[in-house]
Amino acid sequence: MTQDAVVTEPRWLSDPEMAAWLNLTQLLMLLPSALDRQLRDDAGIPHAYYQILAMLSAEPGRSMRMTELARRVGTTTSRLSHAVASLEQRGWVCRRACAFDKRGQIATLTEPGARLLETAAPGHVAEVRRLIFDHLSPDEVDQLRAITAKILPTAL
């Protein structure tokens, strides 16, 4: 440390901040495994695969560039590529070269993938409601959306 360096005390969390943080970390640990378990039991796929299929289904032409898909599902391009390869083997997704950037690839949801998603979606939505939204009022849902929207850009 240089002579000019200023040592500052950490900004410790207040009691209310610590309570909120502990709740959030517990939710972040428990929610993915609960959603994954439900989808594996009901549809035979992990939550990560469901997220990929769902993101593609919402796009025009059910297609998206792989780098954008990785960003939206919150994973690395390497992990996404591995997952999409598995989805391709099952016939649920296909990939093709990007027309305007030869280095890029476009992932497209196939008809069998769309059918799988249609089968899996009702149970998944019911589980999301059971775990999250059934516990919140409409105002609290609006607050949750606003809070997460505020946090997400800085977390990425």
Q: Give the tens place of pLDDT for each residue, 79-133.
A: 999 999 999 999 999 999 988 777 889 999 999 999 999 999 999 999 999 999 9
pLDDT bucket at 2, cuts 50 / 70 / 90: low
pLDDT bucket at 3, cuts 50 / 70 / 90: low
Query: Smallest Cα–Cα separation from 31: which of 143, 144, 127?
Result: 127
Mean local confidence (pLDDT), 61-81: 93
Any long-range contacts for 37-46 (C-beta under 8 Å, 24+ apart)?
Answer: 38/123, 38/124, 38/127, 39/120, 39/123, 39/124, 42/120, 42/123, 42/124, 43/116, 43/119, 43/120, 43/123, 43/124, 45/116, 45/120
d(CA 108, CA 85): 12
CA angle centred on 89, ends 93 and 112, rounded to 5°: 45
The amino acid at residue 139 is: D
Mean pLDDT, the chain, rounded, equals 92
pLDDT of residue 101: 76
pLDDT of residue 5: 67
Helix then strand then coil, in percent of the chain rounded to 5, is: 70, 10, 25
What is the set of domains in the chain, with CATH numbers?
43-122 (1.10.10.10)
| Helix, coil or strand: residue 13 | coil
- CB-side neighbour CA atoms (13 Å) of 94: 7
The residue assigned the tokens 């900004």 is 11
Q: Per-residue pLDDT for 11 more than 80? A: yes
